[in-house]
Amino acid sequence: MKRLIDIAGAAVGLVLLSPVMLACALAVRISMGRPILFRQQRPGLGGRSFEMVKFRTLADWRDDKGELLRDEFRMPRVGRILRAASLDELPELWNVLKGDMSLVGPRPLLMRYLPRYTPEQARRHEVRPGVTGWAQVNGRNTIDWADKFALDVWYVDHRSTALDLKILWLTVMRVVRRQDVNAEVGTSPEFWGAEGPPDQPAAARSASSIAATPASNDMRLR
Give the pLDDT confidence score for residue 215 in this predicted structure.
Answer: 47
Of 31-40, 71-80, 133-142, 184-193, the poorest mean pLDDT is in 184-193
- Strand-strand pairing, 37-43 and 49-55: antiparallel
Give the pLDDT confidence score for residue 185 in this predicted structure.
Answer: 52
Exposed e or buried b per residue across 90-102, where buried means at least 16 C-beta atoms within 10 angstroms of its C-beta: bbbbbbbbeebbb
Number of H helices, E strands in the chain: 7, 4
Instruction: Report the share of the chain in percent with pLDDT over 90.
Output: 66
Asked if 17 contacts 90 with a C-beta cutoff of 8 angstroms, the reply is yes
Cα–Cα distance between 188 and 191 in angstroms, integer? 9
Task: Calculate mean pLDDT across residues 96-108.
Answer: 97
What's the one-letter identity of residue 72?
E
| Sequence-distant (≥ 6) Cβ neighbours of residue 162 within 8 angstroms | none
Cα–Cα distance between 109 and 44 in angstroms, integer? 9
Asked if 77 contacts 83 with a C-beta cutoff of 8 angstroms, the reply is no
- Alpha helices by DSSP H, 43-144: 77-84, 92-98
Cα–Cα distance between 87 and 176 in angstroms, integer? 11
User: Torsion-angle region of residue 189: left (phi > 0), alpha (psi -120 to 50) or beta?
Assistant: beta
Residue of 180, 128, 129, 133 lying closest to 155 (CA atoms) = 133
Cα–Cα distance between 134 and 107 in angstroms, integer? 9
pLDDT tens sequence across 61-71: 888 887 888 87
Give the pLDDT confidence score for residue 221 in this predicted structure.
Answer: 58
**pLDDT band at residue 194, thresholds of 50, 70 and 90?**
confident
Question: Chain-wide mean pLDDT for the chain?
Answer: 87
Instruction: Report the share of the chain in percent with pLDDT over 70.
Output: 85
Cα–Cα distance between 2 and 104 in angstroms, integer? 9
